[in-house]
A = this chain, B = another copy of it.
Amino acid sequence: MNIRVLLVDDHPVVRAGLRAMLAGFPGIDVVGEASDGGAALVELSKLHVLGEPVDLVLMDLQMGSGMDGVTATAKIKAGEAGTPPPPVLILTTYDNDADILAAIEAGASGYMLKDAPPDQIRQAVVSAAAGQTALAPEVAARLVGRIRNPMPVLSGREVQLVELLATGMSNRAIARKLFISEATVKTHLVHIYAKLGVDNRTAAIAVATQRRIIRGQ
């Protein structure tokens, strides 16, 4: 029985590339495409009622418009497409802590980088479809590094704070955005500064960007 894959990426070029690449591998069939998370949910449900179940969703995290990959992953895992939730394999361009944490938290089964060689992508697809976890070597190394060196590591919430910091938001704005008090924001910041070895928000952004805790662009 072949692995039935749904592609989700907002770039037609990338969808064509994945389709062409996966077509070269026996045992893998691309049964659908979608340009964003919302379309993916619709496509999943459509394929389900047609009796053509999807074994694996291959999805980019960053979508230019429409529902983003993290949200879509969470909704798929929650069964909101009206289907038994298939594994979701993230295939994206960047490897930073924030993206990886968000994807795993949302229920992704794997995290691969787009510049991976074709065979690595093939293996990841097969593993993820079989219910296993598939991580790119770069990603795996990051996670192992975190475990080996657990002290200077930011919690998920703290990473989220740093991301908002980097957009230039004030403490008040962050508090409103996260529905918490300014006092809590300040507490988080103090912890973040201590962990990163800095004493102000701009230095925290600089260090977090350099350590690839957040993405610098």
Within 1-47 of A, Cβ neighbours of B (below 8 Å) are at 10-21
Instruction: Name the residue of chain B whose CB is nearest to the CB of A202.
Output: B168
A165 at the interface (CB under 8 A from B): yes
Is A168 in contact with B16, judged by CB distance below 8 angstroms? no
Q: How many copies does the complex hold?
A: 2
Interface size class of A (residues with CB under 8 A): 35 or more
Known A-B contacts A168-B203, A202-B168, A209-B216; the reply to A14 vs B12 at CB < 8 A is: no
A-B contact pairs, 12 of them (CB 8 A): A11-B93, A13-B14, A13-B121, A16-B18, A16-B21, A93-B93, A166-B206, A167-B206, A168-B198, A168-B205, A205-B205, A216-B216
Residues of B within 8 A of A15 (CB): 17
Q: Which of B11, B167, B206 contacts A168 (CB 8 A)?
A: B206
Name the distance in Å between A214's Cβ and chain B's nearest Cβ.
10
- Interface flags for A164-192 (1: CB within 8 Å of B; 0: not) read 01111110000000000000000000000
Q: Give the top 4 A-B pairs by smallest Cβ distance, nearest first.
A: A17-B17, A168-B203, A216-B216, A216-B217
- Tell which of A76-84, A112-120, A127-135 binds the partner: A112-120
Residues of B near A17 (CB, < 8 A) are 11-20
A200 CB within 8 Å of chain B: yes
Let me know if A166 and B202 touch, CB within 8 A: yes
Interface of A is mostly: helix
Min Cβ gap A92→B in Å is: 11
CB distance B167 to A115 under 8 Å?
no
Q: Which of A16, A20, A114 has the most B CB atoms < 10 Å from its CB?
A: A16
What B residues does A91 contact at CB under 8 A?
13
- Cα(A209)–Cα(B206), bound, Å: 12
Shortest CB-to-CB span from A64 to chain B, Å, is 6
Minimum distance in angstroms from A100 CB to a CB of chain B:
16
Which of the residues B19, B20, B201, B215 comes within 8 Å of A202, measured between beta carbons? Answer: B201
